C-alpha cells in the first residue's frame, strides 16, 4: 500500500508538470491552429529565468516567480510577433512554422548554454523545509508544491478563459477569427497573448522543476515531448484534456517503473500516444483537432 501511495503521489506530481506543458500546446493550437515544438524549451527558459531572478539577483521567490512569468510571457508574445506572424504573412505552409519553432528550440538551448554555461546549475530549495511527509510518503516540498501550483494554474486558466471577457474574446478569436474581428475583437492581440500565456505557463513548470532536478540546457526537451504526448492523449487543443492527458502519462510511467521495470518507463508514454493515435486520435476529450478518417 505504501509503495502504491508513493507511486501515486509521484505520478501525480510529474503528471501535473506534463499537464502544464500540454496545456501550452493546446492553448497555442486553439488560438492559432499551429504546433510549437519550442514549448519544452520554454520550460528550460523558465528554469534559467528562475535562477537569474532568484539566485543571481537574490529576489524573493514569489517576486522571482512573477518576473519569470512576465518575462516568459513577453518572450512568447515576441516569438509570435517576430517569427510566427512574419512567416504567416508570407503565406508559408504550416510545416515551415513547425520548423521555425524547432529552430527557436535550438536557439534557446544554445543561448542558455552561452549565458549560463554547460554545467548543471544548482537551484536552491525554495521552502525552509526540504521534505514533507503526506500519507506516509516523503517527498521534496517543491514536488508537492508543483502539483498544487499545477492544479491552481489549471483552475485559474479555466476561470480566465470562461469567466472573463478577455478569455471569451480569446476563445472567439480561435474559433472564428473573421467573425471575432467583425465583433470588434482584436484577434491579433489575443493570439499573441495566447502564445505568451503558453510560454509563461511552461516557464512556471520549469521554475518548479529547477529545485528538484537542477537546471541544464535540455531540461525541457524530454519533458516537453511527454507534454506533447499528454496533449494528444487528452485531445489535442482541449485544455482539460491536456491536463488529464498529462496526469495519465505521469501516472502510467511511474507505475510501470514501480511495478514492472524502469526500462519501459519512457516507452510507455509513447506507446500510449501511438495507441491513442490509432484507436482514438481525438483523445479522451474527443477533440476534433486530429480526426479519425
Partner 1 sequence: MKRRMIAILLALVMLFGLVACGNNGTTNNGGTTNNSGEGGDTTEPEGETFRIGTYLQLTGSNSVAGNSGKQGIELAVKQINEQGGFNGATVVVENFDTQGSTEEAVKVVQKMLSGDNYDAIIGSVNSNEVSACIGYINEAKVYNFGLGTSATWMEDDSMIYTFRASCNNNRIAPLDVDLIKELGYDSVAIMNGTDDTGASTADAFEAACEEKGVTVTTRQQCDSEDTDFTGQISQIISSDPDCVFMSLIGTTFGPFVKQLRNSGYKGMIGCKECFSAEYQNVAGGSPNTDYIFYVYPYVAYTDINDCEIPNMKAFLEAYQAEYGELPAHESAYRGYDTMMAMWEASKIAGANDDESLREATHQVVCEGLGGTMDFTDGSREAYSDFYSFVLVGGKDILVEDWLADGGYEEYLATTGRDR
- From candidates 119, 162, 164, 286, binder to partner 1 by CB under 8 A: 119
Q: Can residue 182 be called a binding residue for partner 1 (CB under 8 A)?
A: no
Q: Can residue 128 be called a binding residue for partner 1 (CB under 8 A)?
A: no
* DSSP state string for 207-259: HHHHHHH-B-TTHHHHHHHHHHHHHHHH-TT-HHHHHHHHHHHHHHHHHIIII
8 Å CB contact between 198 and 227 = no
Q: Can residue 88 be called a binding residue for partner 1 (CB under 8 A)?
A: no
Which class for 110: exposed (0-12), middle (13-18), buried (19 or more C-beta within 10 A)?
A: exposed
Judged by beta carbon, residue 73 or residue 285, the one nearer partner 1 is: 73
Cell triple for 189: 492581440
User: What are the distances in angstroms from CA 135 to CA 9, 10, 20, 39, 104?
Assistant: 10, 12, 25, 34, 43
Stretch that binds partner 1, among 7-15, 147-155, 162-170, 238-246 (CB under 8 A): 7-15
Least gap, CB of 80 to partner 1 (angstroms): 8
**Cα–Cα distance, 14 to 112 (Å, whole number):** 24
What residues from 37 to 56 belong to the interface with partner 1 (CB under 8 A)? 52, 56
Q: Can residue 222 be called a binding residue for partner 1 (CB under 8 A)?
A: yes
- From candidates 60, 62, 66, 82, binder to partner 1 by CB under 8 A: 82
Residues at the site binding partner 1, with contacts judged by CB under 8 A: 3, 6-7, 10-11, 14, 52, 56, 71, 74-75, 77-78, 81-82, 109-111, 113-120, 122, 125, 130-131, 138-140, 209, 212-214, 216-219, 221-223, 253-259, 261-263, 265-266
Amino acid at each position: 500500500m505504501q509503495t502504491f501511495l508513493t507511486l501515486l503521489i509521484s505520478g501525480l506530481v510529474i503528471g501535473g508538470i506534463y499537464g502544464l506543458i500540454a496545456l501550452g500546446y493546446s492553448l497555442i493550437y486553439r488560438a492559432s491552429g499551429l504546433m510549437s515544438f519550442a514549448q519544452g524549451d520554454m520550460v528550460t527558459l523558465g528554469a534559467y529565468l528562475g535562477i537569474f531572478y532568484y539566485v543571481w539577483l537574490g529576489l524573493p521567490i514569489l517576486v522571482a516567480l512573477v518576473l519569470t512569468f512576465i518575462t516568459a510571457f513577453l518572450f512568447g508574445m515576441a516569438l509570435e510577433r517576430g517569427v510566427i506572424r512574419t512567416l504567416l504573412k508570407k503565406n508559408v505552409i504550416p510545416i515551415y512554422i513547425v520548423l521555425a519553432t524547432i529552430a527557436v528550440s535550438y536557439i534557446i538551448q544554445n543561448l542558455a548554454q552561452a549565458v549560463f554555461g554547460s554545467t548543471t546549475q544548482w537551484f536552491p530549495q525554495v521552502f525552509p523545509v526540504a521534505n514533507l511527509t503526506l500519507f506516509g510518503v516523503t517527498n521534496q516540498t517543491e514536488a508537492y508544491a508543483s502539483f498544487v501550483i499545477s492544479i491552481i494554474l489549471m483552475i485559474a486558466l479555466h476561470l480566465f478563459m470562461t469567466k472573463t471577457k478577455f478569455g471569451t474574446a480569446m476563445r472567439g478569436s480561435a474559433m472564428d477569427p473573421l467573425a471575432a474581428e467583425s465583433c470588434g475583437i482584436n484577434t491579433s492581440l489575443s493570439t499573441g497573448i495566447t502564445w505568451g500565456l503558453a510560454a509563461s505557463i511552461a516557464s512556471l513548470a520549469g521554475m518548479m522543476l529547477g529545485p528538484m532536478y537542477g537546471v541544464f540546457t535540455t531540461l525541457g526537451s524530454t519533458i516537453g515531448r511527454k507534454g506533447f504526448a499528454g496533449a494528444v492523449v487528452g485531445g489535442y487543443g482541449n485544455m482539460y484534456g491536456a491536463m488529464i492527458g498529462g496526469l495519465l502519462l505521469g501516472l502510467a510511467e511511474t507505475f510501470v517503473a514501480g511495478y514492472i521495470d524502469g526500462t519501459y518507463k519512457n516507452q510507455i508514454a509513447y506507446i500510449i500516444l501511438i495507441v491513442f493515435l490509432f484507436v482514438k486520435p481525438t483523445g479522451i476529450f474527443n477533440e476534433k483537432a486530429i480526426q479519425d478518417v
